[in-house]
């Protein structure tokens, strides 16, 4: 018989991190623990307050329900938690972990077995111009060839000047530039801003306007000289038919898959299949999970064999994260299989 428990854990940022939703100092997360005949399983329920569709007052009640009903099995649990995507991925991880010979080895690939790296983007957090410029220099010095810059928090002209200064020094052959507006643009001004951004050889822009403006987003994707990637737009869309309808109406150039926010690995694979059918490209992004969740998402991403740089975190943002085999070198995420974990909640 499987026994299940859960624990809440607060991650603390080393440096308060700016987004279009404000300054982040802490990140709440939850761990689901399974125990069967002396074997352990662990999964992270990466709740993201203010962004997750399951940021609800009954969140902990649902975790209790999962623990009390763990015996109904993986598939039934996923069915019963369809509107709690961060719990779904925690369940998926925990069952995979329980079945594994090692709790943190969930998916076998060249990434876990042969130290083959995953290309990732270097993330630039919002802040004043000098702070962002310093981060960009650091990421380039660290060997990143793809940089993702969050925009929409400071003056747009200042952001354009920053992008211009990057392109003056580094061409499109040197650095792939992605920008993420997190829905910061007004729909009435978005197209004009996208036209301005397009002159700086930008790879793509994530979520230029707020989610839920389906017709406006569809028009933008049709008219924009800059490729658009849907991000928040995917959150809260659970039904496969509705997923297909959304992609058909908006017809974006890319979609961004955050498994903790869109239904775990199973929900993400539904989006991937639909995107592939429609000729829409995609990449995977983590959502400020601890190294437990990041490890699982990175291993799963490696099995997809995408050649695009992924939006996977580096695990270095928090003061109280867990030592793990993940390491970044020259813009690549590696799994050092001989390195031990330090996880003290089991």
Q: Which tens digits make up the pLDDT trace of 119-173?
A: 999 988 777 778 878 888 899 889 999 999 888 877 899 889 989 988 888 889 8
The pLDDT of residue 18 is 63
DSSP state of 97: H
Q: In this structure, what token pair is assigned to residue 41?
A: 């399983």
The pLDDT of residue 20 is 57
DSSP state of 320: T
Q: pTM of the prediction? A: 0.94
Query: Biggest alpha carbon distance in the chain?
Result: 62
State which fold the 3-99 domain adopts. Enolase-like; domain 1 (3.30.390)
Strand-strand pairing, 3-19 and 22-36: antiparallel
Determine phi and psi for 319, rounding to 5 degrees: -75, -25
Q: Do residues 306 and 283 lie in contact, with contact meaning Cβ atoms separated by under 8 Å?
A: yes
Architecture of domain 110-335: Alpha-Beta Barrel (3.20)
Question: H helices within the chain, ranges in order?
Answer: 59-68, 74-80, 85-99, 110-113, 129-141, 156-169, 187-197, 214-223, 240-250, 259-262, 264-278, 291-304
The pLDDT of residue 245 is 98
The pLDDT of residue 126 is 74
Query: First vs last Cα of the chain: how many Å apart?
Result: 18
Helix 85-99, helix 291-304: angle, nearest 10? 80
Q: In this structure, what token pair is assigned to residue 141?
A: 């010095």
The helix (H) or strand (E) run that includes residue 6 is strand 3-19
The pLDDT of residue 137 is 86
Compute mean pLDDT per 10 residues along the chain, 346 residues long, and list them: 96 78 85 95 94 96 98 97 98 97 92 93 82 86 91 84 88 92 93 96 96 97 97 96 98 98 97 98 96 97 96 87 93 90 70
Does residue 242 have an active-site annotation?
no
Domain segments of the chain as ranges: 3-99, 110-335
The pLDDT of residue 340 is 85
Q: In this structure, what token pair is assigned to residue 182?
A: 């997190």
CA gap 45, 20 in Å, rounded: 23
Does residue 150 have an active-site annotation?
yes
CA gap 345, 33 in Å, rounded: 9
Q: Do residues 159 and 196 lie in contact, with contact meaning Cβ atoms separated by under 8 Å?
A: no
Q: Do residues 85 and 262 lie in contact, with contact meaning Cβ atoms separated by under 8 Å?
A: yes
- Please tell me which residue in 150, 193, 243, 244 is annotated as part of the active site: 150
| Burial call 78-105: b when 16+ CB within 10 Å, e when fewer | bebbeebbbbbbbbbbbbbbbebeebbb
Q: Do residues 316 and 125 lie in contact, with contact meaning Cβ atoms separated by under 8 Å?
A: no
- Please tell me which residue in 148, 193, 244, 258 is annotated as part of the active site: 258
């Amino acid at each position: 018989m499987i026994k299940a428990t859960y624990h809440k854990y607060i991650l603390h940022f080393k440096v308060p991190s700016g987004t279009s939703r404000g300054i982040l100092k802490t990140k709440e997360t939850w761990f689901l623990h399974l125990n069967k005949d002396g074997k352990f399983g662990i999964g992270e329920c990466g709740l993201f307050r203010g962004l997750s569709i399951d940021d609800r007052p009954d969140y902990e009640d649902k975790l209790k329900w999962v623990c009390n009903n763990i015996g109904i099995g993986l598939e039934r649990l996923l069915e019963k938690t369809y509107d709690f995507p961060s719990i779904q991925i925690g369940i998926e991880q925990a069952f995979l972990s329980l079945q594994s010979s090692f709790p943190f080895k969930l998916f076998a690939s060249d990434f876990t077995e042969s130290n083959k790296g995953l290309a990732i983007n270097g993330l630039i957090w919002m802040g004043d111009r000098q702070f962002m410029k310093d981060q960009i220099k650091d990421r380039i010095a660290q060997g990143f060839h793809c940089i993702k810059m969050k925009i929409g928090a400071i003056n747009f002209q200042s952001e354009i000047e920053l992008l211009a200064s990057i392109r003056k020094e580094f061409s499109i052959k040197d650095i792939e530039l992605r920008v993420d507006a997190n829905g910061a643009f007004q729909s009435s001004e978005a197209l004009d801003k996208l036209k301005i951004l397009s002159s700086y050889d930008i790879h793509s822009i994530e979520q230029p306007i707020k989610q839920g403006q389906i017709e406006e987003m569809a028009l933008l994707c049709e008219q924009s000289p800059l490729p658009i990637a849907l991000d928040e737009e995917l959150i809260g869309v659970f039904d496969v038919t509705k997923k297909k309808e959304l992609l058909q109406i908006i017809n974006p150039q890319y979609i961004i898959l955050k498994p903790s926010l869109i239904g775990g690995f199973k929900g993400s694979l539904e989006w991937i299949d639909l995107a592939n059918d429609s000729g829409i490209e995609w990449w995977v992004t983590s959502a400020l999970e601890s190294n437990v969740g990041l490890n699982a998402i990175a291993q799963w991403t490696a099995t997809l064999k995408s050649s695009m740089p992924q939006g996977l975190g580096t695990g270095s943002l928090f003061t109280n994260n867990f030592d793990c085999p993940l390491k970044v070198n020259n813009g690549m995420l590696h799994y050092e299989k001989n390195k031990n974990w330090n996880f003290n909640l089991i």
